[in-house]
């Protein structure tokens, strides 16, 4: 299941709420697209930062997690394979991927997203009349309703 929408529309928040509800029963994986390459994951001076600065592919492993730092872009299929088994994968962004997709909007609908979505999650600040009839309308403040829609519409990978 994918989520798309403008910056600061609430995508990360709703994905976080859904993940927290589902993790007690399901293995959940999340992929976030960083189109402007602005995310940072390590602190300058730490070993993993220094290793990554060499240009190498770097894996940091510990008893509780594994972190992979790569200089190469990966296709979605490669990333899914790296994740191993999961029950639900949520993707933030990557609006061109052919996945069932929920558009997340506050304030106004950005029509450039509508051709990629099958549902929208909105709050009361959005005029529902801006949404084409073939697109389902979900309450952005009701994670359980969104979860129900996900389980009815998710694509198996």
CB 5 within 8 A of CB 64: no
Domain that holds residue 28: 2-36+75-153
Q: Could you tell me if residue 68 is inside a domain?
A: no
- Asked if residue 55 belongs to a domain, the reply is no
CATH of residue 12: 3.40.50.300
* pLDDT, tens digit (0-9, with 9 covering 90-100), for 36-91: 777 777 788 888 888 888 888 888 888 888 888 888 888 888 999 999 899 999 99
pLDDT at 157 over 80: no
pLDDT for the residue numbered 61 = 85
**Is 47 part of any domain?**
no
pLDDT over 80 at 35, yes or no: no
Task: Round the average pLDDT of the chain to a whole number and report it.
Answer: 91
Query: Mind giving me the DSSP string for 90-143?
Result: EEES-TTS-S-EEEEESSS--GGGGGG-SEEEE-TTS-GGGS-TTSEEEETT-H
Residue 144 backbone phi and psi in degrees, to 5: -65, -40
Residue 64 lies in a domain: no
What gap in Å lies between CA 154 and CA 63, rounded to an integer?
32
Q: How many domains does the chain have?
A: 1
Full-model pTM: 0.87
In a domain? residue 147: yes
Buried b (16+ CB within 10 A) or exposed e, 106-127: beebeeebbebbebbbbeeebe
Give whichever of 32-41, 91-100, 127-136 has the largest mean pLDDT.
127-136
Where does the pLDDT of residue 155 fall: very low under 50, low under 70, confident under 90, or very high at 90 and above?
confident
């Amino acid at each position: 299941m994918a989520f798309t929408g403008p910056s600061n529309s609430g995508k990360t928040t709703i994905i976080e709420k859904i993940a927290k509800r589902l993790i007690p029963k399901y293995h959940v994986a999340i992929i976030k697209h960083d189109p402007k390459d602005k995310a940072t994951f390590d602190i300058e001076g730490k070993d993993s930062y220094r290793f990554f600065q060499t240009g190498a592919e770097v894996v940091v492993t510990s008893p509780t997690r594994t972190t992979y730092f790569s200089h190469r872009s990966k296709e979605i299929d490669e990333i899914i394979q790296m994740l191993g088994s999961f029950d639900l994968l949520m993707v933030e962004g990557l609006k061109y991927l052919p996945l069932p997709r929920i558009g997340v909007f506050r304030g106004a609908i950005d029509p450039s997203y509508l051709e990629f979505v099958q549902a929208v999650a909105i709050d009361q600040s959005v005029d529902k009349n801006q949404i084409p009839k073939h697109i389902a309308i979900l309450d952005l403040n009701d994670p359980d309703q969104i979860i129900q829609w996900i389980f009815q519409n998710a694509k198996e990978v």
